[in-house]
Amino acid sequence: MIDKGKLLQFVNCNILRHHNIIREDVWVRDGKIVNPEKIFFDEKIAADQKIDCGGLLLAPGFIDLQINGGFGVDFSNEVENAEAGLRKVAKGLLAHGVTSFCPTIVTSPPQVYDKVLRKIRKQDGSCDGAAVLGIHVEGPFINKEKKGAHPENCILPLEKGYETLVNVYGTLENVAIVTLAPELHNAGEVIAKLTSKGIAVSLGHSVANLHEGEVAVKHGASFITHLFNAMLPFHHRDPGLVGLLASDLIPTGKTIYFGIIADGIHTHPAALRIAHRTHPKGLVLVTDAISAMGLEEGTHRVGQLAVEIREGRAFVAGTNTLCGSIATMDQCIRTFQEATACSIVNAIEAATLHPALTLGISSTKGTLDYGADADFVLLRDGLEVMSTWIAGECVFKDSSAATK
């Protein structure tokens, strides 16, 4: 709980601010990062408490825009216990530096949407768990040819456009992102309507060509769901949705963002390098983690499926068939940085600033700018999370953390 009016000063730290790592203190009051100049010259007061960061890197808290569950919880299947499942995941994510996330609901029957989308509500972060920025609804308006693990019998067309979407979802009150296939009939009208309501539209699970992707962008789409996965492979005559990273028809001043799974399994290191070197400002790290994320090695019953965690990967029990990502966001950042040899700043901003920009919330999330929420992580060498802070309160601390 925020101690109203209490002034905190985080000292002995390097901070990531304005695309650079600098040596500077961070001042926090009422859950927000404050400008020390006003404190020095106007208020002329000292901090109520100084927190020694032990020389660690202080960076914005991580944001995950696509996560299907974790710690044994599957958001799409926790219909009756959605609130309890959400709390469990939100709490578990704190150990991995995630301070905000979008619970993701995959293609499901309409009755599931009607219940789950009303139960998973936007909420602030605290010691009880990371903030919920809104739901990422991935489907059911996708292409059956690129369904991936989505149940084909639940995939639907946009027969009556936006009216169909509303009828299926039941409510859009808690929705932040909708993934759909842009080649579907009436997709343009739906994209324009959703974006007019402040909901981000992502293109994915699609066989769209580049032109169809560009038309969707003109209607307001601004994100691509897990680049390279569940879409047409890059072709030199028509690069498909991947071509949006280098399209010359993107409206002036608009940035196309794209999610990418850097778990060392779903996306080859060379593909990570290509994406990063082609369009670094649009790259957003997502885990796309399934419910097995966070579980120990061994066999677990997850929903109706027996899953075996073996050597850091999730398999259908008794087989060598992979069944989804179980990487945490801090692991994805390290894997991405190692694969691309990018700077630490680039690696962290792909999990902080870029997802915040995708949702249009960079004034409060994903940065350490004055006025932003005091959500941050302390990282040691190797980008390992030592502690996680929300609104200036320590909500997770590793047993070996140097922070006092």
C-alpha–C-alpha distance, residues 26 and 374, integer Å: 9
Q: CA 11, 13, 15: angle at the middle one, nearest 5?
A: 115
In the structure, what pLDDT confidence band is assigned to residue 400 with cuts at 50, 70 and 90?
low
Asked whether residue 393 is domain-assigned, the answer is yes
230 a known binding residue?
yes
19 a known binding residue?
no
**Which residues form the catalytic set?**
288
Instruction: Give the pLDDT confidence score for residue 301 in this predicted structure.
Output: 73
Task: Look at the chain and report how many structural domains it folds into.
Answer: 2
Shared domain check, 20 and 127? no
Instruction: Round the average pLDDT of the chain to a whole number and report it.
Output: 94
Enumerate residues 6+ apart whose C-beta is below 8 A from 220: 191, 192, 194, 195, 196, 201
| Residue 297 reports pLDDT greater than 70 | yes
229 a known binding residue?
yes
Enumerate residues 6+ apart whose C-beta is below 8 A from 90: 101, 125, 128, 129, 130, 132
| Structural domain for 263, as ranges | 62-359
Mean per-residue pLDDT, 329-336: 98
| pLDDT tens, residue by residue, 211-246 | 999 999 999 999 999 999 999 999 999 999 999 999
54 a known binding residue?
no
322 a known binding residue?
yes
279 a known binding residue?
no
Asked whether residue 404 is domain-assigned, the answer is no
CATH code assigned at 37: 2.30.40.10
Asked whether residue 140 is domain-assigned, the answer is yes
53 a known binding residue?
no
In the structure, what pLDDT confidence band is assigned to residue 316 with cuts at 50, 70 and 90?
confident
Shared domain check, 298 and 252? yes
User: Quick check: pTM over 0.85?
Assistant: yes
| Residue 403 reports pLDDT greater than 50 | no
C-alpha–C-alpha distance, residues 238 and 240, integer Å: 6
Shared domain check, 209 and 296? yes
C-alpha–C-alpha distance, residues 17 and 148, integer Å: 38
In the structure, what pLDDT confidence band is assigned to residue 78 with cuts at 50, 70 and 90?
confident
- What the block records as the tokens of 307 is 């899953």
Asked whether residue 402 is domain-assigned, the answer is no
Instruction: Give the pLDDT confidence score for residue 71 in this predicted structure.
Output: 94
CATH code assigned at 202: 3.20.20.140
Shared domain check, 67 and 22? no
268 a known binding residue?
no
